[in-house]
Amino acid sequence: MDVSELAARYDEELRTSDYADVDASANGLQVGSGDWTVEHVAFAVDAAVETIEAAVSAGADALVTHHGLSWGGIERVTGRDFDRVAPLIREDVALYVSHLPLDGHTSLGNAAGLADRLGLAGRERFGAMGSEYIGLAGTADALDPAGVRETLETDLDHGAGGVRHLDFGPDAIKDVAVVTGSGADWFDAAVERGADAFVTGEGKQKLYHQAKEAGVHVYLAGHYATETFGVNALADLADDWGVETTVLDAPTGI
Amino acid sequence: MDVSELAARYDEELRTSDYADVDASANGLQVGSGDWTVEHVAFAVDAAVETIEAAVSAGADALVTHHGLSWGGIERVTGRDFDRVAPLIREDVALYVSHLPLDGHTSLGNAAGLADRLGLAGRERFGAMGSEYIGLAGTADALDPAGVRETLETDLDHGAGGVRHLDFGPDAIKDVAVVTGSGADWFDAAVERGADAFVTGEGKQKLYHQAKEAGVHVYLAGHYATETFGVNALADLADDWGVETTVLDAPTGI
Amino acid sequence: MDVSELAARYDEELRTSDYADVDASANGLQVGSGDWTVEHVAFAVDAAVETIEAAVSAGADALVTHHGLSWGGIERVTGRDFDRVAPLIREDVALYVSHLPLDGHTSLGNAAGLADRLGLAGRERFGAMGSEYIGLAGTADALDPAGVRETLETDLDHGAGGVRHLDFGPDAIKDVAVVTGSGADWFDAAVERGADAFVTGEGKQKLYHQAKEAGVHVYLAGHYATETFGVNALADLADDWGVETTVLDAPTGI
Amino acid sequence: MDVSELAARYDEELRTSDYADVDASANGLQVGSGDWTVEHVAFAVDAAVETIEAAVSAGADALVTHHGLSWGGIERVTGRDFDRVAPLIREDVALYVSHLPLDGHTSLGNAAGLADRLGLAGRERFGAMGSEYIGLAGTADALDPAGVRETLETDLDHGAGGVRHLDFGPDAIKDVAVVTGSGADWFDAAVERGADAFVTGEGKQKLYHQAKEAGVHVYLAGHYATETFGVNALADLADDWGVETTVLDAPTGI
Amino acid sequence: MDVSELAARYDEELRTSDYADVDASANGLQVGSGDWTVEHVAFAVDAAVETIEAAVSAGADALVTHHGLSWGGIERVTGRDFDRVAPLIREDVALYVSHLPLDGHTSLGNAAGLADRLGLAGRERFGAMGSEYIGLAGTADALDPAGVRETLETDLDHGAGGVRHLDFGPDAIKDVAVVTGSGADWFDAAVERGADAFVTGEGKQKLYHQAKEAGVHVYLAGHYATETFGVNALADLADDWGVETTVLDAPTGI
Amino acid sequence: MDVSELAARYDEELRTSDYADVDASANGLQVGSGDWTVEHVAFAVDAAVETIEAAVSAGADALVTHHGLSWGGIERVTGRDFDRVAPLIREDVALYVSHLPLDGHTSLGNAAGLADRLGLAGRERFGAMGSEYIGLAGTADALDPAGVRETLETDLDHGAGGVRHLDFGPDAIKDVAVVTGSGADWFDAAVERGADAFVTGEGKQKLYHQAKEAGVHVYLAGHYATETFGVNALADLADDWGVETTVLDAPTGI
């Protein structure tokens, strides 16, 4: 398979073009020639020197990440962008990126993976971004608030970080809304939905009082930790296509 | 003193109007009648039900906060905004807000207070926001990276949170840039300045690899924890003016 | 019935959400708690100290107006906005607002009420505002231009003002376009439609020569005077719902 | 003198270029050839068929107006614009326009002329529009509110209209702010200045309650009626330059 | 037939209103009265003094052009715009304009006419401009690159100019994309389509290396020369309607 | 000297930062590491595969061009951008770009070089772009129009193109305005200045009639041909700094 074919398969599965107007990230193939042959793909949450070098070491022809290098265009291929682009080009490693399409995909996505861990049922798309969605919401059978925290703490890859629980919700959690990464701006939508708990990655100062006043549990489980599901699912897809895969672990603890 | 006079004094000291074009916050008097008499002022980082009720309980005529209620206008005085505005109006408590003017004030500001704790010398304005600044930078006499962390951990009011140290910088810290609150977008400016360490409140996922690749220490000391300095300084001012003051403690741990 | 229920019923009847993108007014519930019980509703064209105090005096739990307080957000609850919001909150009176949805509603709306008085037939939506409409147009059986003036003069509530007639149209009026309030910008659309007469509230200087050159009657019947129909119709609706109602009279003469 | 010279003299006197960024009107020469010789200039408030035909009848080579034909460009020279442009071109009459520069000129302007009639002293520029001004404010020696109305009623050219007085201010008027034409949006600035009375041309519905709540007199003296001063002053200038002049009277009563 | 009728027929045929949002040109009737009678229409690529005078000399009542006078509005009818508008008005010649609608019309349009000359089959709309198109693409039976140049050189009206061939494509041309006039910005779309040759009017510096690197033939056949087809087709239509027609020749060589 | 030093010297000389807001081009260092050592610099008008490969062949460490690769950011380092960026990175060749700063520099710039060839005196900055300029104007001692054409034809590097002369001006040229490259939008400014001749690179269709009606000579001397002066001057500067230089010749004929 060549790089163009790999990118086309992912683009179709992830509906890349449908997110073009709502995502600052230039999703799809970001660096490299479409003609290169792909036999081994590496996967990581972030495109950074650490992961790019690891991909090269693993012998990968392509690196697939959730966070890429072009957010509205690379102004200059200098400094940090040079340090990241140069090894990709020198070592013939293509970079494929899927940001919001991978957050919101209903089965492969980050929110979907997190919902799996929490055992959510009756799932609906959640976290509107223009005409698309970047999260999921679902129902549960009276989850214990401390138990949810424990699940997130033990099942996710936190690096030096952990889970912060704003413990302001009811004793039994029956409805959960999830927006992985930096999802604080969708907290009000979770309240409007009637969610008992809102799970996201990074916190924002305003969330504390918002949660306290709304009487809703908030779990800040880490940006990195909540976003490993998607790239793992894309690795599984590549496995199915007969491509060798390596999933890189580089937790930020943030 | 009446509310108008109090607001006018703070506005002049903080140069409120100079920040009008760069701050989404409607700085200055946000809620209340300018004719009310002020004998007792409460101070808090956030304007929220918790702090508003505490101000009422303390018998305050006015509440001064860093984060207010109007960010580009209060669309509707319903829901959360109603819950916050209503007790202010029913109990005749005026709300005065100073966001970015208080972050960047070179002696009263949040960054200034944090720079004091770190003992920074040769201070310069840092963290450009249009034609204004919201942070400070300065030099130090070879600070120990772990020591900086300890200082931030012990001297600041973290609530349930703490300090995260991205330990990627040199062994001796000689130049420090500070943007309190959510300052990650100014990390590159800190690198350009040649800072050895960057101190801010909230983290963002991208900061991890940026710090690692730049070889700079990053301290994520908490949004709330880094922003108590300013309102405390404003309380001292009010003390000088002969007004009774109460500083409210409501750490978010975020 | 509680405030939320009242607002929901009106929102559905008036299609509030359909006008969200074309109206600067924050239509729907603007001030108050959705949990309050509503037994008595007051109605007025304008939300102002005069009408708010009258609503309080009447013992109303809610005030429904055509012109509200939030036009793109209340920047500060101080000065005029404080004087209007404070009595609502202190006296537990909710404020529900319907601006353009109430202008253009084909049976309850301001233009519809005015068209009723003029006996217009074959009505069509008129006065495009994005994808919605804020007026009505219709046909008549050769109305006498002076008679139209007389009808508007006697049937409407002008306060100190009156009707100005720009008498430039034909002797017999067979087609009339109506945009209540400040409708001068739709005069050209009325000409394009082939209307013999255009009825609106406030005048604008340019209308005089536009009407003279187009050979069309213009009636400037007063902003307030042309916009009492809608809130009266909403009062009738509330009556049907078993709520006590008071329609407040506060003509501006403008 | 040719048309270019006439336009250049007015442009310099009125500082036309300084208003370029704040005025939708294309001020300066709007229609005609700069090479035409000017011996006779007509003056009117509005450029319309009525005034253009009167200028032609008077034998004018140029028409100078306050309201012109190009507001952000003439989309098509058809319909109303054709009816106005065609006689200018066919009869070799140039059109020179001065909108906001003529409103705000401190001696020749519309507000200045109105201030003269009211005998205002200590005049200051008022009515900010970007970095320029379109009105004037000044002080008076305890004017009688009814007397001000009478002065405006008798001294101005109202056509079929008249003066509306919102009689909400103090018994003695000591400070007056003036924005001629459609000035309602500057009412709050008048209040902030501490004016006892605000004089403008057209009304807007919201002014009524604003004036009532602020306790300030408002005089709605007519858009046309308040804007004859400027063109008369420009006629006087042309007289001084030795050009024959005709001031056209075409009141709109609005 | 009167001018309104002529304009209405062309507007319908060319779908003028569908291009309103994507074209800076004010398409449709640009100058004149809709009431004038039309017996003789002149046609030209550009509305300029040369063609307007020629239309007058020919005794035309209307001039139909591809490039008109209003591109976002005529700021002032002075200088160049006066020199062009004045003879139209003085001689009662209406100006009808069709810019992008005439470029992209699938049978009457400029690209269609050029495609006819090249004998393209399997035509598809090409050159997206918002939701509309301004060019055509089609297939050919292995055209000879030099032969295409010869055809464009001999069949088109170049005035002092000629055809520039960027000879970077394959020996046999099987797919051609056409955007007449200034089409360089659609070169990448032609490459994406898989075209072997791209034909446009004006060149842009960047096209040279783009064509060379993509391995595609580019023909710069002249802006004027590629855009005579449309107005000739409109003349044929007018002939069918029984109107006398004159096609004016005024090549720019650009 | 390292790349950073080279870029800093050019940036200072060319006032790169002053053009940041008016130029879509990301001027300054566009590709490469600032740490690289520079011993040999190549210069070209365009950054394209042809010139980049020639720079590599010449053994250059850096390439300096007038037209670069980043115009508002490189969306993806794929396709054409990959083909150009990849050899720069693989061969360790830095790319430095100066677009408008190099057009308008009063001694090193493209317009300055062209003005030298024409022997223009009394030079003034011309061709306003925001607060900066991109051309020059000056006076001459009655130049012969055909002679100017001949000078441009023989002295410039046209490749397959040549000079087009729109011969509409006076017999003796005494004032010349120059905007190299694509300067047609500044023709009106040249007329306003009173220039007898306007020299630019690329033509635009509208220029023909504009020049004819204004009675001004226009010389379309080629985009590439008019823009070799600047990069040659930068090469001379580098020579002075003791760096080996190669000026690459790659005329586009456009």
Q: What is the pLDDT of residue F248?
A: 98
Name the closest residue on chain D to residue C45, using Cα atoms.
Answer: D205
**CA pseudo-torsion sign A123, A124, A129, A132:** positive
Name the closest residue on chain B to residue C35, using Cα atoms.
Answer: B79
Q: Binding residue per annotation — E2?
A: no
Quote the tokens at residue B96.
């005065």
> How far is residue B226's CA from residue B159's CA, in Å, rounded to a whole number?
12
Name the closest residue on chain C to residue D203, using Cα atoms.
Answer: C254
pLDDT band at B64 (very low <50, low <70, confident <90, very high): very high
| C207/D83 CB distance under 8 A | no
Which among E80, E160, E212 is the nearest to F210, CB-wise?
A: E80
Rg (chain E; Cα; Å) = 18
Which among E67, E181, E205 is the nearest to F252, CB-wise?
A: E205
- Structural contact between residues C230 and C105, judged by C-beta atoms closer than 8 angstroms: yes
Q: What is the pLDDT of residue A246?
A: 98
Go through F38-55 and write b for each residue having 16 or more CB atoms within 10 A of its CB, e for each that does not.
bebbbbbbbbbbbbbebb
Q: How far is C-alpha E56 from the geometric centre of its chain's CA atoms?
A: 22
Non-local CB neighbours of C232 within 8 Å, separated by 6+ positions: C43, C113, C247
Q: What is the mean pLDDT of residues D46-64?
A: 98
Q: What is the pLDDT of residue F160?
A: 80
Quote the tokens at residue D161.
């209209």
Residue D160 has pLDDT above 90, yes or no: no
| A70/F75 CB distance under 8 A | yes
Residue C187 has pLDDT above 90, yes or no: yes
pLDDT band at D186 (very low <50, low <70, confident <90, very high): very high
Estimate the share of chain B in helix, then strand, then coil, as percent rounded to the nearest 5.
Answer: 40, 25, 35
Q: What is the pLDDT of residue E132?
A: 97
Q: What is the pLDDT of residue C197?
A: 98
- Structural contact between residues F186 and F179, judged by C-beta atoms closer than 8 angstroms: yes
Q: What is the pLDDT of residue C160?
A: 80
E69-107 tens-digit pLDDT: 999 999 999 999 999 999 999 999 999 999 999 999 999
Q: What is the pLDDT of residue D67?
A: 98
Residues of A in contact with B205 (CB under 8 A): 46, 67, 181-182, 201-202, 223-224, 252, 254
Name the closest residue on chain A to residue B214, using Cα atoms.
Answer: A80
Shortest distance, CA F207 to any CA of chain E (angstroms): 9
Tell me the one-letter amino acid at F124.
E
In this chain, the answer to whether the domains covering E3-98 and E106-226 adopt an identical fold is yes
DSSP 8-state secondary structure symbol assigned to residue F199: E
| A252/B202 CB distance under 8 A | no
Non-local CB neighbours of D240 within 8 Å, separated by 6+ positions: none
Which among D161, D204, D252 is the nearest to C202, CB-wise?
A: D204
Residue D215 has pLDDT above 90, yes or no: yes
pLDDT band at D168 (very low <50, low <70, confident <90, very high): very high
Nearest CA to F103 among F7, F25, F165, F181?
Answer: F181
Q: What is the mean pLDDT of residues E1-12?
A: 98
> How far is residue D51's CA from residue D95's CA, in Å, rounded to a whole number?
11
- For helices F229-240 and F110-118, give the axis angle rounded to 10 degrees: 100
SS3 track for chain E: CEHHHHHHHHHHHHCHHHHCCCCCECCEEEECCCCCECCEEEEEEECCHHHHHHHHHCCCCEEEEEECCCECCECCECHHHHHHHHHHHHCCCEEEECCHHHHHCCCCCHHHHHHHHHCCEEEEEEEEECCEEEEEEEEEEEECHHHHHHHHHHHCCCCCCCCEEECCCCCCEEEEEECCCCCHHHHHHHHHHCCCEEEECCCCHHHHHHHHHHCCEEEECCCCHHHCHHHHHHHHHHHHCCCEEEECCCCCCC
Averaged pLDDT of chain B: 97
Shortest distance, CA F133 to any CA of chain A (angstroms): 24
Which among D73, D82, D86 is the nearest to E74, CB-wise?
A: D73
Which among F202, F203, F213 is the nearest to E80, CB-wise?
A: F213
Question: Residue D53: in which H helix or E strand, if any?
Answer: helix D49-57
Q: CA distances (Å), C17 to each of C46, C110, E147, E213, in order? A: 21, 19, 61, 52
Q: Where are the domains of chain B?
A: 3-98, 103-226
- Per-residue pLDDT tens, chain F, 254 aa: give them: 999 999 999 999 999 999 999 999 999 999 999 999 999 999 999 999 999 999 999 999 999 999 999 999 999 999 999 999 999 999 999 999 999 999 999 999 999 999 999 999 999 999 999 999 999 999 999 999 999 999 999 999 998 889 999 999 999 999 999 999 999 999 999 999 999 999 999 999 999 999 999 999 999 999 999 999 999 999 999 999 999 999 999 999 99
Which contacts (CB < 8 Å, 24+ apart) does range E111-116 have?
E111/E135, E111/E136, E111/E178, E111/E179, E111/E180, E112/E136, E112/E229, E112/E233, E113/E228, E113/E229, E113/E230, E113/E232, E113/E233, E114/E178, E114/E180, E114/E199, E114/E221, E114/E226, E114/E229, E115/E176, E115/E178, E116/E229
- Structural contact between residues A133 and A185, judged by C-beta atoms closer than 8 angstroms: no
Please, how many CA atoms are within 13 Å of residue B248, restricted to the half-sphere of its CB? 28
Residues of A in contact with F87 (CB under 8 A): none
> How far is residue B101's CA from residue F159's CA, in Å, rounded to a whole number?
59
| E29/D76 CB distance under 8 A | yes
DSSP string, D87-113: HHHHTT-EEEE-SHHHHH-TTTSHHHH
F59-115 tens-digit pLDDT: 999 999 999 999 999 999 999 999 999 999 999 999 999 999 999 999 999 999 999
DSSP string, chain A: -BHHHHHHHHHHHHTGGGGTTT-SB--EEEES-TTSB-SEEEEEEE-SHHHHHHHHHTT-SEEEEEE-S-BS-BS-BSHHHHHHHHHHHHTT-EEEE-SHHHHH-TTTSHHHHHHHHHT-EEEEEEEEETTEEEEEEEEEEEE-HHHHHHHHHHHS--TT---EEE--S-SSEEEEEE--SS-GGGHHHHHHHT-SEEEESS--HHHHHHHHHHT-EEEE--TTGGGSHHHHHHHHHHHHTT-EEEE-------
Q: Binding residue per annotation — E105?
A: no
- Structural contact between residues B250 and B60, judged by C-beta atoms closer than 8 angstroms: no
Strand duo D28-31 + D94-97: pairing: antiparallel
| F214/E161 CB distance under 8 A | no
Nearest CA to F2 among F135, F96, F70?
Answer: F96
Name the closest residue on chain D to residue C225, using Cα atoms.
Answer: D205
* Cα-Cα end-to-end distance for chain B: 35
For residue F175, what are the β-bridge partners?
F139
User: What architecture (CATH level 2) is domain C3-98?
Assistant: 3-Layer(aba) Sandwich (3.40)
Q: How far is C-alpha C252 from the geometric centre of its chain's CA atoms?
A: 13
Q: What is the mean pLDDT of residues B52-76?
A: 98
Question: Right CATH number for E106-226 from 3.40.50.1820, 3.40.1390.30, 3.40.50.300, 1.20.1560.10?
Answer: 3.40.1390.30
| F73/A78 CB distance under 8 A | no
Q: How far is C-alpha A188 from the geometric centre of its chain's CA atoms?
A: 21
Name the closest residue on chain E to residue F161, using Cα atoms.
Answer: E164
Residues of C in contact with D220 (CB under 8 A): 254
Chains C and D touch (3+ CB pairs under 8 A): yes
Quote the tokens at residue E173.
């041309």
Helix, strand counts (H, E) of chain D: 9, 11
Which among D26, D76, D85 is the nearest to E75, CB-wise?
A: D26
Averaged pLDDT of chain C: 97
Low-confidence ranges of chain A (pLDDT < 50): none
Longest dimension (CA), chain B: 56
- Look at the domain F103-226 and name its fold: 3.40.1390
| E73/D74 CB distance under 8 A | yes
| A85/F89 CB distance under 8 A | yes
pLDDT band at C161 (very low <50, low <70, confident <90, very high): confident
Contact residues of A toward B, CB < 8 A: 46, 48-50, 67, 80, 83, 160-161, 164, 181-182, 201-210, 212-214, 220, 223-224, 252-254
| D209/C254 CB distance under 8 A | no
D102-151 tens-digit pLDDT: 999 999 999 999 999 999 999 999 999 999 999 999 999 999 999 999 99
State the chains in contact with D (3 or more Cβ–Cβ pairs under 8 Å).
Answer: C, E
Q: What interface predicted TM-score (ipTM) does this complex get?
A: 0.96
